[in-house]
Chain A
């Protein structure tokens, strides 16, 4: 009865795919740049797959910095935050969902900010 015309489907897919490409291109660009040396970065036209590939950038990541220590710090922050969030957020969510009190919506909205 009301099937979508194939042309509209094609248009929808073209829009979705082009937005998806624009979303992922910067990331591919970042990965590609991470494998270049300084001369290749400023090359015109740009190389998407650098020749030769410079893997030593990744080696430097582990050599130059105290990488393990920084990751440990990050993990501590993440764990602490997750535990805290779990308790506070579930309780706050319960309060806002099940209890009715004056000014509730205002409090919810001001918590977003």
Chain B
């Protein structure tokens, strides 16, 4: 019986790591290769995404050539790539919550939802804040997706600010204008971060 239980625990542990490995796989692959891969996956007739959509009976989407769908395609790809990283951060945050709090709350008769709402959420708020800030900053700086997958996209639908700066600097050689834009982007990012920091006092709880 005891051996069986041990075996069960081991299986649980093993499957946990298999899931972490699968979820983290996109993070450790480099963005340029992932972009090339997704350019292929999102191709209208032979792409895997459209094949799966077809499998569920949904209409084909002309991902990278339709101005309405180019950006959703890039977003899909960025989510696919970013999930694992943020998952590991959340995992660390969850493991950092001491078990004592839950035991105390159980003794006080808190149910599952209350324990989630009043222990997990507040103690996880610094992690959530970190994830929000880093994801925001990385999203502002999206470049490789636009550069490799769509090259600014159909009718500039996916020209992000960093890609525009790159084009100004190295394609049209407006170096001064590009540098001014880069500085402006830095200011905007700092402002956005400052605003987030101002609001964090309302909801981030440092235990």
Q: Which residues in A have some Cβ–Cβ distance to B below 8 Å?
A: 2, 4, 16, 19-20, 22-27, 29-30, 33, 41-42, 44-46, 105-106, 109-110, 112-113
Contacts and interface: CB of A to CB of B under 8 A. Distances in A.
A2 B112 CA distance: 7
A40 B51 CA distance: 16
Contacts of A16: 19
A23 B26 contact: yes
Contact of B197 (A30, A46, A106): A106
Interface in B139-155: 141
Contact of B23 (A2, A4, A19, A26): A19
Main secondary structure of the interface of B (DSSP, over half): helix
A43 to B, nearest CB: 8
B197 A105 contact: yes
A60 B165 CA distance: 37
Interface stretch (B1-9, B34-42, B169-177): B34-42
B46 A46 contact: yes
Nearest to B49: A26
Given A19-B23, A105-B197, A42 B190 contact: no
Contacts of B137: 112-113
Contacts of B29: 27
Contacts, number: 58
Interface residues of B, number: 29
B30 to A, nearest CB: 11
Contact of A24 (B22, B134, B141, B194): B22
Nearest to A21: B22
A57 to B, nearest CB: 15
A48 to B, nearest CB: 10
Given A20-B22, A33-B40, A26 B46 contact: no
Contacts of A26: 26, 37-38, 41, 48, 80
B189 interface: yes
B83 interface: yes
Contacts of A106: 194, 197
B25 A24 contact: yes
Interface in B12-60: 19, 22-23, 25-26, 29, 37-38, 40-41, 45-46, 48, 51
A112 B22 CA distance: 26
Looking at A22, A109, A110, the one whose CB has the most chain B CB atoms below 10 A away is A109
Contacts of A23: 22-23, 25-26, 80, 83-84
